[in-house]
Amino acid sequence: MFGKQFRLFQLVGFEVKIDPSWIIIALLVSWSLSVGYFPHKYLNYSTRTYWLMGIAGAVGLFMSIIAHEMTHSIVARRYGIPIRGITLFLFGGVAEMDEEPKGAVDEFIMAVMGPISSAMIGLACYGIYLFGRYVGWPYPVSGVILYLAMINGLLAAFNLLPAFPLDGGRMLRAALWHIKGNLKWATRVSAGIGSGFGLFLIFYGVFHFITGQFIAGMWLFLIGMFLKNAAEASYQQLITLRTLEGEPLWRFMNTSPVTVPPNLTIDNLVEDYIYTYHHKLYPVVADGRLTGCITTRRIKEIPRDQWPHTTVDDVATSCNPDNTIGPDADATEALSKMRRTNSGRLMVVDRDRLLGIVSLKDMMAFLSLKIELES
Q: Is the pLDDT of residue 331 over 90?
A: no
The whole-model pTM stands at: 0.72
Is 132 strand, coil or helix?
A: helix
The answer to whether residues 13 and 84 touch, using CB atoms and an 8 Å cutoff, is: no
pLDDT band, residue 327 (cuts 50/70/90): confident
pLDDT at 2 (0 to 100): 43
Q: Can you tell me the distance from the alpha carbon of 61 to that of 159, in angstroms, rounded to the nearest whole number?
A: 15
Do you find a cis peptide bond into 165, omega within 30 degrees of 0?
yes
Is residue 175 classed exposed, middle or buried when 0-12, 13-18 and 19+ CB atoms within 10 A define those classes?
Answer: middle
Each residue of 151-161: pLDDT tens digit? 999 989 988 98
pLDDT at 158 (0 to 100): 87
Give per-residue burial for 3-15: e unless 16+ CB within 10 Å, then b.
Answer: eebeebeeeeebb
Q: Secondary structure of the chain: what % helix, strand, coil (to 5)?
A: 65, 15, 20
Report which DSSP code applies to 99: S
Between these two residues, 315 and 103, which has the higher pLDDT value? 315
Q: Where in the chain is the domain with CATH 3.10.580.10?
A: 249-374
The answer to whether residues 1 and 94 touch, using CB atoms and an 8 Å cutoff, is: yes
Each residue of 220-271: pLDDT tens digit? 888 888 888 888 888 887 888 778 888 888 888 889 999 999 999 999 999 9
Residues with Cβ within 8 Å of 17's Cβ and at least 6 positions away in sequence, in order, are 5, 6, 7, 8, 85, 86, 87, 88
Of 3.90.800.10, 3.40.640.10, 3.10.580.10, 3.40.50.300, which CATH number belongs to 249-374?
Answer: 3.10.580.10
